[in-house]
Amino acid sequence: MSHQGKVCIITGATDGIGKEVALNLAKMGFTLGLVGRNAKKISATESEIKATADNENITFFNADLSSMDQVRQLALEIQAKYNRIDVLLNNAGAYFTDYGKTDEGFENTFALNHLSYFLFTDLLLDTIKVSPQSRIVNVASNAHLNTNLDFENLQGFNGYKGWPAYCKSKLCNVMFTYELARRLEGSGTTANCLHPGFVHTNFGNNNKTSVRMSLTAAKALGAINVKKGAQTSIYLASSAEVDGVSGQYFSKCRPKTSSPQSQVLVDQQRLWSITEQLLN
């Protein structure tokens, strides 16, 4: 399956899974639009991928995706650069132990892990639909399995706890994917989500020392390496096996059953409606 000339946009591409996916897709011949937040990392990663993959068709965009204004500006920059998008991989995300709000008033976890997926996808959708058999891939997590959404306290303003907030944001990813897939039926564009595994990356290192130490210990005991963690994202972005497959949750490159809570149709629709209202 040739990928020469195909355009793939990847968020969170300067580290971990996003960087590993970018490197692999670059070797396959994809033209890549990569998104990162740290300017120094962007420069180093761009040079590394170009040299390692022998692919010059790599462009990095600098944006903090917890800012919806920056997400909107980023979408304009990408649409000015590319007249089609074959794959959008929403990968950027984080875990915040402490409560905080963005400048726009959204809770940090909810803003980065859910709102950015929704808004970025929505803004790029016309460009994605230009490409036949285009794909939207959302990185979720098995963290969604043991939680549900409180629609009266969706952002955790009342009684915020870091890990539950992260789990809820990953549930939002799954529910968003299912509703998106339904809305895309008949368009030729598919939408799927995935669990990458518990991967040894810099995940959680933005938090205080005690949290970083606990996560480092857990990763040392049970985490898989980045190469393994990237496999399902690579598969969903590039494999002919998933041509036309949509509205699925994948783990280890195979469809899996997501939580009962994620499959409630009225809740998927309610989340979509509330998200639209929040983003105006």
Which positions are annotated as active-site residues? 166
- Answer for the pair 262, 171: CB distance below 8 angstroms, yes or no: yes
- Answer for the pair 11, 224: CB distance below 8 angstroms, yes or no: no
- Reported as type and span, the H/E element at residue 272 is helix 265-279
**From the centroid of its chain, how far is CA 102?**
19
Name 88's Cβ contacts closer than 8 Å, sequence gap at least 6.
8, 9, 120, 121, 124, 128, 134, 135, 136, 137
In terms of DSSP bridges, do strands 254-256 and 249-251 run parallel, antiparallel, or are they unpaired? antiparallel
Residue 196 zone, left/alpha/beta (φ > 0; ψ -120 to 50; rest): alpha
